[in-house]
Amino acid sequence: MRINVPACLAGLILIGAFAGCLCPRNSAGAQTASITIPPSPPYRPDQILVKPKPGVSLSALAGFHSVQGTVVLQTFQGIGGIEVLRLPPGGSVPDFVARYEQSGLVEFAEPDYEAHTFTTSPNDPKFTDGTLWGLNNFGQNGGTPHADIDAPDGWDIRTSASNIVVAVLDTGVWYTHEDLASNMWVNPHDGNHGTNALPGAIDLTGNDDSGHGTMIAGVLGALGNNGKGVAGVAWQVQIMACKCFNNFGVGNSSAILACLAYAQTNGAQIINASWGGNNSLALSNAVASTRDAGIIFVQACGNSGTNIDVAPVYPASWHFDNVVAVAWTTRNDTLASLSNYGATTVHLAAPGDNIYSTFAGSDNGYFSNSGTSFSAPYVTGALALVMARYPTETYQQIIARVLNGVDLLPALAGKCVTGGRLNLRKALSPPISLTSLPSAGGGAFAMRVSGGANRTCVVQVSTNLAAWFPVFTNTTSADGTFDFADNPSTNSTRRFYRAISTP
């Protein structure tokens, strides 16, 4: 199903660190140079975050809190005991951060940083013509055929991840939407579909008052084959709404930590994080805790056209093995000009241009937008399907299946770790394997290609493992195999063989 509609929105950013201006002067007092340090990022003026130092007496720390007049609002035991502290009236954040750092009682102290959505609004004339090309691109609206995630062939293998819980950490999810309601996770204790960790929240259900989070939920898991609206990558999945950003896309470290703790406590297996920002020690500890729990953390890498190997964006730039950072491709399989990238930091790309999805505000609202915010949930949905298909595998193995199954693209060479764009069919398919067979008559080399039923594979040959040339194409039989024999001349150079799946 393809629907043409207008567009708007995009991802989230977290910013960090105190700053000022240094102006060295010569002996006469004249200014000789100036170094401008970026301005201090926004943070809550009434709170800080601290992590107790290992081995420190918690009663000693509690006594220090009492002397300082601070109050512990939250403690995240699963993230090293990080505490959210309310400052006394008139307390200065830099002053209290310094006090705690000098106390010898904490591993670190930092502000409760603000976070903001990545907002990208492309203005090309075809923006309003976008349909679900990212799932199946046959050249519509000037696109390049097969510049998609190969979803129809992937769905031939699996459409449901109904036992997989995906936490969407964002502006919430409009959970009564016609394309989302039946895929919403339900908390067995209170019947809610998630949580709202924003300070002073009255509605604690995680409902969306912005639209950003609802769009992300639709890309990864809108109900498929129901005759309404759109289909997500996973037709069935359990979506947990974790609201840590308000309707303007602004949140804080403490709200993000609370949502991460909620997701971890309540059994989320994958987290979609279409936001990013500063190098917060508290947040890095929280992401590390999700790794320790075996949770996959899918991260949008940002929309500023920046090499984040050089100018890091967090959490994407943290090298935890559960973090999967995603760039944004166009309907022509090019890297979007506004997409961030990084040869060692960003793992793969996925469609992110003019993506049409569910929207908040009504039960039948839909909208279109561009950015890495919307490429990330393509990967999240794919990971959910792969996890459902291979339930005994570790998070590292699930991630490896997705990364090893990308379509290699010239536009992504040197721009991300894999150099490729997501392919759902390949991620869900068994890996291709080669087995030597007894030589056919005359000493011909023979091998068996195995890779799942009805899979078209190209056998390639090389003499140096650098340049490869196709020599045979065939489709596997119902048992998932076909045989190949090669009979090079007796004096030919040593040859190497491999098989790859065709798009």
Q: Among 62-66, 276-280, 409-413, which is the least confidently predicted range?
A: 276-280
CB-CB contact of 218 with 357 (8 Å): yes
What's the confidence (pLDDT) of residue 155? 85
pLDDT band at 33 (very low <50, low <70, confident <90, very high): very low
Q: Are residues 356 and 408 in the same domain?
A: yes
What sign for the dihedral angle of Cα 283, 284, 289, 291?
A: positive
Q: Are residues 257 and 363 in the same domain?
A: yes
CB-CB contact of 10 with 118 (8 Å): yes
Q: Are residues 382 and 493 in the same domain?
A: no
Q: Are residues 223 and 270 in the same domain?
A: yes
Instruction: Strand 481-486: give its sheet, edge to edge.
Output: 433-440, 444-450, 481-486
In a domain, 219, yes or no: yes
Name the catalytic one among 253, 368, 373, 450.
373
* Percent above pLDDT 90 for the chain: 63
What's the confidence (pLDDT) of residue 223? 92
Say whether pLDDT at 12 is over 80: no
At which of 372, 399, 429 does a domain end? 429
What's the confidence (pLDDT) of residue 471? 86
In a domain, 143, yes or no: yes
Name the catalytic one among 129, 150, 153, 170.
170
**Number of other CB atoms surrounding residue 181 within 10 Å:** 13
In a domain, 188, yes or no: no
Say whether pLDDT at 474 is over 80: yes
At which of 396, 429, 462 does a domain end? 429
Written as one letter, the residue type at 341 is Y
Burial class (CB in 10 A: 0-12, 13-18, 19+), 189: exposed
Three-state DSSP at 426 gives helix
What's the confidence (pLDDT) of residue 101? 96
Say whether pLDDT at 379 is over 80: yes
CB-CB contact of 417 with 347 (8 Å): yes
pLDDT tens digit sequence for 145-169: 999 998 888 888 899 999 999 999 9
Say whether pLDDT at 14 is over 50: no
What's the confidence (pLDDT) of residue 277? 66
Q: Are residues 382 and 256 in the same domain?
A: yes
> Which residues, in sequence order, are CB contacts of 171 under 8 Å at separation 6+?
117, 208, 209, 210, 211, 212, 213, 214, 243, 245, 246, 247, 249, 360
> Which residues, in sequence order, are CB contacts of 426 under 8 Å at separation 6+?
150, 404, 405, 406, 407, 501
Higher pLDDT, 305 or 130: 305
Q: Are residues 88 and 232 in the same domain?
A: yes
Distance CA 3, CA 133 (A): 10
Q: Among 39-48, 119-128, 329-338, which is the least confidently predicted range?
A: 119-128
**Three-state SS string across 11-43, please?**
CCEECCCCCCEECCECCCCCECCCEECCCCCCE
Q: Is 337 a catalytic residue?
A: no
Q: Is 373 a catalytic residue?
A: yes
Rg (CA), the chain: 25
In a domain, 97, yes or no: yes
pLDDT tens digit sequence for 237-286: 999 999 999 998 989 999 999 999 999 999 999 999 999 867 899 999 99
What's the confidence (pLDDT) of residue 462? 85
Say whether pLDDT at 7 is over 80: no
Q: Are residues 361 and 489 in the same domain?
A: no
Can you give the CATH number for the domain in which 225 is found?
3.40.50.200
Q: Are residues 153 and 80 in the same domain?
A: yes
Name the catalytic one among 212, 254, 357, 450.
212
In a domain, 182, yes or no: no
Say whether pLDDT at 220 is over 90: yes
Q: Are residues 203 and 150 in the same domain?
A: yes
* Percent above pLDDT 70 for the chain: 86
Residue 483, domain extent: 433-501
Higher pLDDT, 34 or 18: 34
Question: How many domains would you assign to the chain?
Answer: 2
Q: Are residues 481 and 419 in the same domain?
A: no
CB-CB contact of 272 with 244 (8 Å): no
In a domain, 191, yes or no: no
Q: Are residues 261 and 231 in the same domain?
A: yes
**Three-state SS string across 316-380, please?**
CCCCCCCEEEEEEECCCCCECCCCCECCCCCCEEEECCCEEEECCCCCCCEEEECCHHHHHHHHH
For 230-256, give the DSSP string: ---SSSEEEEEEEE-B-TTS-EEHHHH
Q: Among 121-135, 323-337, 431-445, which is the least confidently predicted range?
A: 121-135
In terms of pTM, does the model score above 0.75?
Answer: yes
N-to-C CA span, the chain: 21
Say whether pLDDT at 230 is over 80: yes
Say whether pLDDT at 143 is over 80: yes
> Which residues, in sequence order, are CB contacts of 491 under 8 Å at separation 6+?
none
Q: Are residues 387 and 462 in the same domain?
A: no
In a domain, 123, yes or no: yes
Q: Among 32-46, 48-62, 258-272, which is the least confidently predicted range?
A: 32-46
Q: Is 112 a catalytic residue?
A: no
What's the confidence (pLDDT) of residue 9? 33
What's the confidence (pLDDT) of residue 41? 64
In degrees, rounded to 5, the angle at the alpha carbon of residue 314 between the alpha carbons of residues 106 and 327 is: 165
What's the confidence (pLDDT) of residue 396? 96
What backbone phi and psi angles, to 5 degrees, belong to 71?
-125, 130
**CA distances for 101 relative to 15, 49, 76, 157, 492, angstroms:** 20, 11, 19, 54, 70
What's the confidence (pLDDT) of residue 108? 96
pLDDT band at 36 (very low <50, low <70, confident <90, very high): very low
At which of 385, 404, 429 does a domain end? 429
CA proximity to 209, closest of 196, 193, 228, 225: 196
In a domain, 63, yes or no: yes
